[in-house]
Structure 1
Amino acid sequence: MRRRHEFVEESRREWSSEPAFIASMAAAAVGLGNLWRFPYIMGENGGGAFVVAYLAALIVVVMPIMILEVAAGRLSKGSTVGTYRQVNRFGTVYGWFVVLVTTAITSYYLVITGWTLGYTVDAVRGDVRVFGQFSAGFNSLWYFLATTALAAAVLLRGVRAIETLSKLLMPALLALVLFLVYRAAQTPGWDETRDFFFQVDWARLLDGKLWGFAFGQAFYTLAIGQGYLVTYGSFIPRKTHLPRACLVVAGVETSVALLAGWMIFPYVFSFGMAPDQGSALAFETLPRVFEQQAGGGLLAVLFFALFFAAAFSSSLAGLKVIIAAVAEEFRLRERSAVLAVALLMVMLGSASALSFTPLQLTIGGEPVLDAVDRVAGGDVIIFSGLTGAALLCWFIPPQRIRTVLGTANRWWEWRIYLIGRYLPVLVLLWGVITYGVSQLQGAG
């Protein structure tokens, strides 16, 4: 028990303040999910209709669940597995399921973070290439291994290292994105981008698949059902106003996601490219952007360096979830847990990395990375987030959550409980009805 006690004491060091918590959570949320994933998912799902569905999902459903998960971490002061174990016996199984989902996501997330590192190195060398050229050799694998090693080194330094990185990252990243949006507004593709965002095909909002992608993206970018919020919430300072802090994080996350679209799509349309190119959209577009910009070499270095920092901080958040669970459950010292998880990432992530090398590893004809992202980053995290919310709201009394919200406003409490208790039931009923209708149609 001594080793577990030592780890718990070491890992419970709190963020230094509410702003530090907000900066760290924002850095965890504002990463590849916004700058890489949001534009390509939006491009594949009809532009404006997707934005409407995404914002609706975020405001109505995802925000209350976000606050609930952070509150649960603040209440338990433990890892994801330890937190849900306190709910009921099934909670232990669910806690490990969350860790497994986060492990799958982080394994390929580190690969894409490696791409951003590679592009940063190429920008410094003055040789930024489109993605097809970048991935012609084994760059994807080598940079993945380098990123994993660097992440392990930072995590050995603990919470304060993440906090320091986050405080430097967020303002610089936001300023540069705003500048690039300003430059994009002067391109021929700006008007087409405006139409792409604001001309909504309302009929598409009747498409269940569109809502599935919108909810999946909202859950993905705010890290719902992935253990991030529970783990980071366990470090939250005592006097933090929790709903306010979560609102700020969600606002920053949403703003950066939308700005990423306004930054990338004007060039996509200016270059005559299709918006539905998939996961390589940003890496195909941005090298061409900097090639045509005045001072493009310096902008490329700044952007890809900050892009890497954003992706890297999100990778650290995912790894922290896994490390906290492994260390506390297997009674390992933090150093041993970090090294064990880093080795696990190397073993799992190599398949995703090799899918963008001459070996071209695939699953069903789809690159391994894209297949894992489609499954783990979509329906699986929606299921995970709703299951976790149901567990917390059906088995933890409202007054216990109230004590850690940091506010006397009962509106947040009741909204959280209405969503957490009844939305999973409604989704289950909808799934059963949809399946029954499809079976009847098939029989007919």
Structure 2
Amino acid sequence: MFHRHKFVESSRKHWSSEPAFIASMAAAAVGLGNLWRFPYIMGENGGGVFVVAYLIALLVVVMPIMILEVAAGRLSKGSTVGTYREVGPFGTIYGWFVVLVTVAITSYYLVITGWTLGYSVDAIRGQVRVFEEFSSGFNSLWFFIATTLLAAVVLARDVTAIEKLSKLLMPALVAVVLFLVYRASQTSGWEEAKDFFFQVDWSRLWSGKLWGFAFGQAFYTLAIGQGYLVTYGSFIPRKTHLPRACLAVAGVETSIALLAGWMIFPFVFSFGMEPGQGSALAFETLPRVFAQMPGGGWLAVLFFGLFFAAAFTSSLAGLKVVTAAVAEEFQLRNTTAVTVVTGVMLVLGTASALSFTPLEWRIAGEPVLDMIDRVAGGDVIIFSGLTGAALLCWFIPPKRIRTVLGTANRWWEWRIYLVGRYLPVLVLLWAVLIFAVNQARGTGG
């Protein structure tokens, strides 16, 4: 055990400062979940009422769990597996479960990131196509391979490469989003978009389906239960104020997601399109929108360039979770771990990439990518996040967590343990109740 900890300490570097840590975590959090998933989930779930439910879920539940995961990483200064080993043998099993979930998610995330790279290249060439045409050949496969190899090159340079990339990308992302929002404000659909955001159907707050989407989106975009936060927390500088840093990251993440809505929906309404078009909102609808707008070619370059930059930094974060676990658990050099993980991603991701080529790979009639996203990127994340919070709060004394929060304010400690200890129990009881009611209804019928 001593030898393993010695290896971890000798191989681990740290972010240079709290702002650098915030920029890198924000770059990891802001990705396809904000710019692709948030707008279409919002479009399918009533607009403004979804935003209200999402913000409540974020502030009441997700923020304490986020701080808890970062604090756990800072406490152990190890990988995801090493961190959860602190709670006992089951914690080790859970830590590897988180790594496997992250492997599954990152494998198809790299495919979608490849799509954004392909659209960026097409936009520069002035040949942006709708997704059906883009995926008619093997573009999905070639751009996935290119993206994965590029990510491997960045990761081989270790944590400082991610930090430098994040410092360059984050201001550029914000600038491009604000510019596109400004252009959207000049369209005829701006007023309709305002109504979509601010006219809230309060009666829908009683919908369990709405809250399920809201919590799922919050867990997904802030990377709860996926090992990202634990891994990034293990690199945190000593003097960082954890609640402040996490609030800053969540603020950036939420702002980008909302701005993405302001960027997309005015264009959608301007051309008489429906907001609830699902994933086609970005890859199917917007290419047509840009093609009909004055200066649309330049806007396409900006938009899809932003898409790729955000998706790529999130892909790097997922890969870092896996490579950190592999390197530290098997005592491998960083470059060796990166090589191993890259090979695994190329194998697993190819199945997802080929599901959107003429080969049309399917599992039970469903594209491989869609199946993995539905299983690993849905309820599994919520289950993983709640399980991790319960393990940390029930088996690690509050005093130990308090030492790494970076603040003497006990209010955050109280919130963390209230949510981490009792929310998983309440959710379990609720699930058992729903199961019992359904069984009773079935018997009664």
> 1:139 and 2:136 equivalent?
no
Q: Which amino acid aligns with 2:82?
A: G
Query: Aligned equivalents of 1:288 and 1:3: distance in 2?
Result: 58
- Cα deviations by residue, 1:2-49 (Å, 9 ceiling, x for unpaired): 996786246420000000000000000011110111112222222222
Query: Aligned equivalents of 1:388 and 1:359: distance in 2?
Result: 39
Q: Are 2:271 and 2:289, in contact at CA under 8 Å, matched by a contact in 1?
A: no
Measured after TM superposition, the shift of residue 329 of structure 1 is 1.6
Aligned 1:100-115 pairs, distance under 5 A: 100-115=100-115
Query: Aligned equivalents of 1:306 and 1:279: distance in 2?
Result: 17
Aligned partner of 2:202 in structure 1 is: 202
Aligned partner of 2:118 in structure 1 is: 118
Structure 2: segments with no counterpart, 5+ residues? none
Query: Aligned equivalents of 1:356 and 1:201: distance in 2?
Result: 37
Q: Are 1:136 and 1:357, in contact at CA under 8 Å, matched by a contact in 2?
A: yes
Q: Are 2:226 and 2:385, in contact at CA under 8 Å, matched by a contact in 1?
A: yes
Query: Aligned equivalents of 1:441 and 1:197: distance in 2?
Result: 38
Measured after TM superposition, the shift of residue 305 of structure 1 is 2.2
The alpha-carbon distance between structure 1 residues 441 and 114, as it changes in their structure 2 partners (threshold 3 A), is same
Aligned partner of 2:401 in structure 1 is: 401
Aligned partner of 1:341 in structure 2 is: 341
Measured after TM superposition, the shift of residue 201 of structure 1 is 2.6
> 1:99 and 2:99 equivalent?
yes
The alpha-carbon distance between structure 1 residues 20 and 222, as it changes in their structure 2 partners (threshold 3 A), is same
Q: Are 1:84 and 1:95, in contact at CA under 8 Å, matched by a contact in 2?
A: yes
Q: Which amino acid aligns with 1:214?
A: A
Query: Aligned equivalents of 1:355 and 1:96: distance in 2?
Result: 27
Aligned 1:253-402 pairs, distance under 5 A: 253-402=253-402
Percent identity, please: 82
Query: Aligned equivalents of 2:366 and 2:435: distance in 1?
Result: 26
Structure 1: segments with no counterpart, 5+ residues? none
TM-score (norm 2): 0.96
Query: Aligned equivalents of 2:336 and 2:328: distance in 1?
Result: 12
Q: Are 1:108 and 1:352, in contact at CA under 8 Å, matched by a contact in 2?
A: yes
Aligned partner of 1:56 in structure 2 is: 56
**Helix, strand or coil at the partner of 1:181:** helix
**Helix, strand or coil at the partner of 2:403:** helix
Q: Are 2:107 and 2:345, in contact at CA under 8 Å, matched by a contact in 1?
A: yes
Q: Which amino acid aligns with 2:116?
A: T
Query: Aligned equivalents of 2:202 and 2:305: distance in 1?
Result: 39
The alpha-carbon distance between structure 1 residues 273 and 367, as it changes in their structure 2 partners (threshold 3 A), is farther
- Cα deviations by residue, 1:387-408 (Å, 9 ceiling, x for unpaired): 0000000011111111100001
Aligned partner of 1:23 in structure 2 is: 23
Query: Aligned equivalents of 2:416 and 2:248: distance in 1?
Result: 17
Q: Which amino acid aligns with 2:85?
A: R
Aligned 1:91-240 pairs, distance under 5 A: 91-240=91-240
Deviates more, 1:108-117 or 1:38-47: 38-47
The alpha-carbon distance between structure 1 residues 195 and 361, as it changes in their structure 2 partners (threshold 3 A), is farther
The alpha-carbon distance between structure 1 residues 302 and 204, as it changes in their structure 2 partners (threshold 3 A), is same
Measured after TM superposition, the shift of residue 98 of structure 1 is 0.4
The alpha-carbon distance between structure 1 residues 199 and 11, as it changes in their structure 2 partners (threshold 3 A), is farther
Deviates more, 1:350-359 or 1:30-39: 350-359
Q: Are 1:279 and 1:370, in contact at CA under 8 Å, matched by a contact in 2?
A: no
Measured after TM superposition, the shift of residue 55 of structure 1 is 0.9
Query: Aligned equivalents of 2:355 and 2:44: distance in 1?
Result: 21
Measured after TM superposition, the shift of residue 95 of structure 1 is 0.3
Query: Aligned equivalents of 1:5 and 1:267: distance in 2?
Result: 53
Deviates more, 1:191-200 or 1:420-429: 191-200
Aligned 1:406-417 pairs, distance under 5 A: 406-417=406-417
Query: Aligned equivalents of 2:364 and 2:263: distance in 1?
Result: 33
Deviates more, 1:81-90 or 1:276-285: 276-285
Q: Which amino acid aligns with 1:435?
A: F
**Helix, strand or coil at the partner of 1:258:** helix
Measured after TM superposition, the shift of residue 364 of structure 1 is 3.8
Aligned 1:33-48 pairs, distance under 5 A: 33-48=33-48
**Helix, strand or coil at the partner of 1:405:** coil
Query: Aligned equivalents of 2:121 and 2:209: distance in 1?
Result: 38
- Cα deviations by residue, 1:359-398 (Å, 9 ceiling, x for unpaired): 2223343322222222212211000000000000001111
Aligned 1:246-257 pairs, distance under 5 A: 246-257=246-257
**Helix, strand or coil at the partner of 1:404:** coil
The alpha-carbon distance between structure 1 residues 272 and 363, as it changes in their structure 2 partners (threshold 3 A), is farther
- Cα deviations by residue, 1:403-428 (Å, 9 ceiling, x for unpaired): 10000111001010100000000010
The alpha-carbon distance between structure 1 residues 7 and 310, as it changes in their structure 2 partners (threshold 3 A), is farther
CA RMSD of aligned residues (A): 1.7
Aligned partner of 2:68 in structure 1 is: 68
TM-score (norm 1): 0.96
Measured after TM superposition, the shift of residue 347 of structure 1 is 1.2
Q: Which amino acid aligns with 1:403?
A: T
The alpha-carbon distance between structure 1 residues 3 and 291, as it changes in their structure 2 partners (threshold 3 A), is farther
Query: Aligned equivalents of 2:419 and 2:6: distance in 1?
Result: 37
Query: Aligned equivalents of 2:205 and 2:109: distance in 1?
Result: 30
Query: Aligned equivalents of 1:13 and 1:179: distance in 2?
Result: 36
The alpha-carbon distance between structure 1 residues 39 and 7, as it changes in their structure 2 partners (threshold 3 A), is farther
Query: Aligned equivalents of 1:166 and 1:3: distance in 2?
Result: 33
The alpha-carbon distance between structure 1 residues 45 and 236, as it changes in their structure 2 partners (threshold 3 A), is same
Deviates more, 1:3-12 or 1:13-22: 3-12
Q: Are 2:226 and 2:381, in contact at CA under 8 Å, matched by a contact in 1?
A: yes
Query: Aligned equivalents of 2:384 and 2:22: distance in 1?
Result: 24
Aligned partner of 2:436 in structure 1 is: 436
Deviates more, 1:287-296 or 1:122-131: 287-296
Measured after TM superposition, the shift of residue 292 of structure 1 is 3.5
Q: Are 2:80 and 2:231, in contact at CA under 8 Å, matched by a contact in 1?
A: yes
Query: Aligned equivalents of 2:356 and 2:10: distance in 1?
Result: 39
Query: Aligned equivalents of 1:199 and 1:8: distance in 2?
Result: 52
Query: Aligned equivalents of 2:314 and 2:10: distance in 1?
Result: 21
- Cα deviations by residue, 1:127-161 (Å, 9 ceiling, x for unpaired): 11122211111111110011001111110001111
Q: Which amino acid aligns with 1:266?
A: P
